[in-house]
């Protein structure tokens, strides 16, 4: 399940009503948390070490070497995959400006600001799959948002984004494109 946290003026009490901004943080879904990932790697290493010791005791050096290389490759792939999930996308609307900021491994990757003006929201919809893509367009610049969301989550996010832009008084146009099935 992908994590999405949004904040808008309607979700807070009256004391926060003066904040007319919008803030969404989108992170990819993770089936294992960090502790479970450590346990999985420890288990793989333990089982591999046990078989490695058995093969060495039996004099099967070639099999032990292949097992060692296979285990090292598997653990490397697990660490690379887990590291790839350490990314985040922030979408903020404040003072009539839409700002999309992306982070990977807690480092800033990109920051795109679309200043107040006519912003076009382009949605790509597949009849079988649902909402495939949301792009914000302005004066030849385009930025895709909500890449780590499911089609249902993307539709909810689009509704919240449009509502926040209306609250800010930002002019927008929504264009829906139908993508061919299977594309």
98: pLDDT strictly greater than 80: yes
17: pLDDT strictly greater than 60: no
Instruction: Enter the tokens of residue 4.
Output: 């999405």
- pLDDT score recorded for residue 4: 54
Chain position carrying tokens 């399940």: 1
- What are the sequence ranges of the domains in the chain? 3-28+89-178, 34-84
- pLDDT score recorded for residue 66: 93
pTM of the model: 0.66
CB-CB contact of 92 with 21 (8 Å): yes
Q: How far apart are CA 83 and CA 59, in angstroms?
A: 37
- pLDDT score recorded for residue 58: 92
pLDDT digits (tens, 9 = 90+) for 123-158: 998 888 888 899 998 888 889 998 888 888 999 999
pLDDT digits (tens, 9 = 90+) for 160-177: 888 888 888 887 788 888
180 DSSP assignment: P
CATH architecture of 3-28+89-178: Roll (2.30)
Coil/strand/helix, residue 110: strand
CB-CB contact of 131 with 162 (8 Å): no
- pLDDT score recorded for residue 50: 93
CB-CB contact of 52 with 114 (8 Å): no
pLDDT digits (tens, 9 = 90+) for 22-72: 888 888 877 777 788 889 889 999 999 999 899 999 999 999 999 999 999
- List C-alpha distances in Å: 124 to 4, 44, 120, 135, 161: 20, 42, 13, 9, 16
């Amino acid at each position: 399940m992908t994590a999405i946290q949004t904040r808008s003026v309607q979700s807070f009490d009256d004391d926060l009503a003066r904040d007319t901004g919008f803030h969404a943080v989108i992170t990819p879904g993770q089936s294992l948390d960090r502790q479970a990932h450590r346990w999985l790697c420890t288990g793989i290493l333990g089982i591999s070490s046990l078989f490695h010791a058995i093969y060495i005791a039996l004099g099967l050096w070639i099999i032990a070497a292949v097992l060692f290389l296979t285990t090292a490759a598997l653990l490397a792939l697990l660490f690379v995959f887990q590291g790839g999930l350490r990314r985040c996308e922030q979408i903020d609307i404040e003072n009539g400006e839409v700002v999309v900021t992306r982070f990977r491994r807690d480092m800033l990757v990109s920051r795109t600001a679309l200043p107040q003006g006519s912003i076009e929201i382009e949605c790509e919809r597949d009849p079988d799959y649902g909402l495939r893509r949301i792009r914000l367009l302005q004066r030849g610049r385009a930025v895709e948002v909500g890449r780590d969301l499911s089609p249902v989550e993307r539709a909810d996010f689009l509704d919240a984004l449009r509502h926040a832009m209306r609250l800010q008084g930002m002019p927008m146009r929504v264009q829906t494109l139908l993508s061919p099935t299977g594309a």
